[in-house]
Amino acid sequence: MIRIFAATIATLLLALPVQAFETQARAAYVIDQTTGTVLLTKNADEPLPPASMSKLMTLYMAFEAIERGKSNGGLDLTEELPVSQHAMSYGGSTMFLDTTDRVKVEDLLRGIIVLSGNDACAVIAEALSPDGSEAGFARLMTQRAQQMGMTNSTFANSNGWPAAGHRMSLRDLGLLATRLIEDYPQYYPMFSQREFLFDGRAPQNKTNRNPLLGLGIGAEGLKTGHTSEAGYGLVGSAKQGDRRIVFVLSGLDSAEARAQESESIVNWAFRQFSQRSMGKAGTMIAEAPVALGAQGAVGLELESDLSVLVPVSGGSDVSAEVVYTGPLRAPITKGQTVGELVLTRGDLPEVRAPLVAKDSVAAGGFMVKLEAAARHLLTRLNEGPEAAS
């Protein structure tokens, strides 16, 4: 393994460690979604009661069902769903549905996102459940979460109502929020809707509880949560310029503390870090020797555009190295992955970007192999009789 210090890149990356954010939350997770950089973790992999934040999983599966279409066992936005006695029985935050209602899927989605409707979740769950029950849908939620890589999530219901075994880690919630944003951008604007007055029947529950919406800091969503066991939490996202962050907080002791902590984290994430472009796809980073090739070396270039997050102030340089196993052996195909650019940024996670061959290098002919063999023999002879033998 050969490591080459890439001075030309490192000079662009002068940056310093940032002061860590001291959160009052029991658990926290903050990620810069644009670059994939994790900025903060605190008990992020501990399965905790997620309260209404787990409604995001019901929403994700509802969006999947809408994309699948009614003819394939999914949903249609204009489809009207019945309300069961079980769905109607939920207390807490609701749309005040009753068994005489048939509610459009789109209204149910807004009822979940804006009003945090426990009853709306149950209606969606029973429609999509393999056995028509909310419990059956909860089992499906757990299976789908595992498939998506949310390994610390298990569900007992569709809405986060306190129940034994209903748990999610904050890292899982961050992953889920990111998937919602990336997989279903057509529905994502719903999360920034500040009011929804369904059928005029619940004026006391018409306002989105997300405390960051309307503050002018780029907040876009996603979901608050609160129970006595879980405390106050928020899965949030905010976008400023080309950057978006996703953060999850849990275990705060009041709605006011949740609002203050959330705003502080957003300001910290955007003010203490900046995004830097390290080069476009095709930027040549280094050159590596090639063994037994028609050419003796090949350029190494970025496979794709490379943008990284760096602290804006602090105390140590960020370094860059080119890493590959060399010399590279011919034949080499243009675009073949042959190495990595490794960026080290103080306390931030290491960044590893693939490097590909700038050009194709054919295998050398007989004379190239003969010359290589001769050079190898001369080297051994110069090392002494024992090496030559």
Name the residues annotated as catalytic: 52, 55, 116
Q: Is 373 exposed, middle or buried (0-12, 13-18, 19+ CB in 10 A)?
A: exposed
Roughly what angle, to the nearest 10 degrees, separates helices 134-147 and 118-128?
80
CA–CA distance, 337 with 130 (Å, rounded to integer): 44
Locate 306 and state its tokens: 């490379």
Q: How far apart are CA 387 and CA 379, in angstroms?
A: 9
Side-chain-side CA neighbours of 375 within 13 Å: the count stands at: 8
Cα–Cα nearest to 372, from 338, 330, 313, 334:
330
Q: Is 338 left (phi over 0), alpha (psi -120 to 50) or beta?
A: alpha
Contact 317, 346 (CB under 8 A): no
Whether the Cβ atoms of residue 134 and residue 126 lie closer than 8 Å to each other: yes
Q: What is the H or E stretch that residue 259 is in? A: helix 255-271
Distance CA 228, CA 162 (A): 9
* CA atoms of 184 and 194, how far apart (whole Å): 19
Question: Quick one: tokens of 68?
Answer: 């699948």
SS3 289: strand
How is residue 292 annotated by DSSP? Answer: T
Quickly list DSSP for 198-239: GGG--TTS-B---TTTTSSS-EEEEEEEEETTTEEEEEEEEE
Pairing of strands 273-279, 306-311: antiparallel
